[in-house]
Amino acid sequence: MKDPVDILSALADPTRLGAIRLLWDGEEHCVCELMRKLGASQSRMSRHMATLKVAGLVIDRRDAQWVRYRRNPALSPAVAAVVDAALALPVTEKAEEIAA
């Protein structure tokens, strides 16, 4: 199991939490879609996704020039419960700005 500090740190950033919110549907999402929906540049989004990947929350797959991300299907029930709890928290103004 990954270090709880890595998991909680990964979820602490509004852009990363927004990405997790989008990826939590279990489907693959292209980095271009995440960039557009979260208002992030390609380099910024890539850094955020790398953090989520290191924390073990997402996996990726290269598709030509794009990278597609999805929820890590091998997450332990305990880690999935932590993410579910984070996603259940009320969305703050800052998170709404990012998601808009």
Write out pLDDT tens, residues 34-90: 999 999 999 999 999 999 999 999 999 998 888 999 999 999 999 999 999 999 988
Domain spans, the chain: 4-88
First to last CA, the chain: 33
Q: What class is the 4-88 domain?
A: mainly alpha
What pTM was estimated for this model as a whole?
Answer: 0.85
Per DSSP, what are the bridge partners of residue 60? 69
Across the chain, the runs of DSSP E, i.e. the strands, are 29-30, 58-63, 66-71
pLDDT exceeds 90 at position 97: no
pLDDT value of residue 95: 55
Residue 17 has pLDDT above 80, yes or no: yes
